[in-house]
Amino acid sequence: MLVGLFIFPYTASAAQVHRVAPGESLFMIAQRHGVTVNAILTQNKYLRNHNTIFPKQVLIIPQTHNNGIYIVQPGDTLFKISEKLGVTVEAIASENQITNINNLFVGQSLKVPTNTSQTNTTVTNNTYTVKAGDSLFKISQQLGVSMEAIAKENQLSNWNNIFVGQNLKIPNNDTNQTQTVSDEYVVKPGDTLFKISQDLAVPMNDLVKENNITNVNLLFVGQVLNIPNKVVSQPPSSPQHSVSQLARMYPDTLFMKGTGNGNKIALTFDDGPNPTYTPQLLDVLKRHNVPATFFVMGSRVERHPAIAQRIVNEGHVIANHTWIHPNLRNVSQSQLVTEMTETENIIQKVTGVRTALMRPPYGGINQQALEGLRDLNYKVIHWSIDSVDWRDQEVDTILINSLSPILGNDIILFHDAGGDEQTRGATVEGIEEIIITLRSQGYEFVTVDNLLGVKAYR
Ligand code: ZN
């Protein structure tokens, strides 16, 4: 594996977690870590009152980038890094001559450009109006659409020739397609070996053998995998939209967060029930009297009915995460119906409730699947924050991934189960600190239906 081979002449300290001790002030903490109070505030937007921090709460201490160098951390994307450092994606890309934004890898050192301002993005009816400071690269990164696709859609011959006020047609998102024509596959953010094997319809064992993979969790973004045999590409069916595009097109069906930046937080857990970790998690939630939402797999409810029952008994919401966890972008309409109704039936048999909320496995959704789910009367729940706990299985990294982006009314994605080799111990530990931290800052934990004002059950 390449991942062990990157060695750097010095180590820049990564973003880290500070656990507040009694009597500490933000100023003291900043001094101790050699950063400014402002830098801490930027990294911890969930702080509601800058003068009030509490013992045991967690603060994320930003990366100190010595000599203007930033080392790419687990869970990083160029967009995340740009937010951490308060500089634009475009500036980082140009400073480091990055041509493919997906080719970041953990441990990579990036030159940090000098500060420029950020702007927010809005797309109306698939049209984007160019703002000051925009480049094609920046727009493509913010919208999750490739530069090539935007250029083609708008017949731009020169990618630098966009002007403020120009209306760009935003093409269908193409970042999620897997029409790999060669026998190589470049690992994308969010990929797991399981996901790749599903998307490419290649058995996971074949991928492991072909690439001499010893640890299936050690994939990194930008890694090139050899794909054995031929890759089955997706049929050129309906256009592919990004999740946020779909959420705008179907605002009553697909949700990524609550409205505005209020004081509510919905903790969500996927892939259970798991006989080891789900009970541990339920213990933590019970101790702090926090309700959560569990997106369970039908096949696992069948195996662990008592745990599913406990989820409901203890005041949590149970919701549908399909029977065998297929990527819904690749299933037929009849398979979709089977996945949903079989899971709903076992949940009802075990707990007595019929689910009205679902989360698509991998967050994978397209227009066809979304309309199918809408016709089955499901609310489709995505997320606004990904803890990336399936990959970054360390407490501090999970805290950094989960807390840094919080603005309020967020839906945070965690997992209480995973593949056979995965542990969820760090998730269980991290949840307790997330609860303590956010409660100390006045946040209220709610189930997803409460956050969104929809019904959990039918
Ligand atoms: Zn899942």
**Known active-site residue 174:** no
> Could you tell me the distance, in angstroms and rounded to a whole number, from the CA of residue 364 to the centre of ligand 1?
10
**Known active-site residue 396:** no
pLDDT tens-digit profile of 176-198?
444 334 477 888 777 888 778 87
> Could you tell me the distance, in angstroms and rounded to a whole number, from the CA of residue 406 to the centre of ligand 1?
22
Contact 188, 100 (CB under 8 A): no
> What does the pLDDT profile of the chain (458 residues) look like in tens digits?
333 333 332 333 468 999 999 999 999 998 888 888 888 988 898 998 777 899 999 999 987 665 577 777 767 788 877 777 777 788 888 888 888 777 788 777 888 876 543 334 456 667 888 776 677 777 877 787 777 788 888 888 777 777 777 888 888 664 444 433 447 788 877 788 877 887 777 777 788 888 878 777 777 777 888 887 644 444 444 567 889 899 999 999 999 999 998 999 999 999 999 999 999 999 999 999 999 999 999 999 999 999 999 999 999 999 999 999 999 999 999 999 999 999 999 999 999 999 999 999 999 999 999 999 999 999 999 999 999 898 888 899 999 999 999 999 999 999 999 876 678 999 999 999 999 999 999 999 999 999 999 999 99
Domains and CATH numbers, the chain: 15-100 (3.10.350.10), 127-169 (3.10.350.10), 184-226 (3.10.350.10), 243-452 (3.20.20.370)
**This prediction's pTM:** 0.64
> Could you tell me the distance, in angstroms and rounded to a whole number, from the CA of residue 361 to the centre of ligand 1?
4
Using the 8-state DSSP alphabet, how is residue 20 labeled?
P
pLDDT tens-digit profile of 390-410?
888 889 999 999 999 999 999
Which one of 270, 392, 410, 416 is the catalytic residue? Answer: 270
> Could you tell me the distance, in angstroms and rounded to a whole number, from the CA of residue 360 to the centre of ligand 1?
7
Which one of 271, 316, 415, 449 is the catalytic residue? Answer: 415
> Could you tell me the distance, in angstroms and rounded to a whole number, from the CA of residue 128 to the centre of ligand 1?
32
- What percentage of the chain has pLDDT greater than the value 70? 87
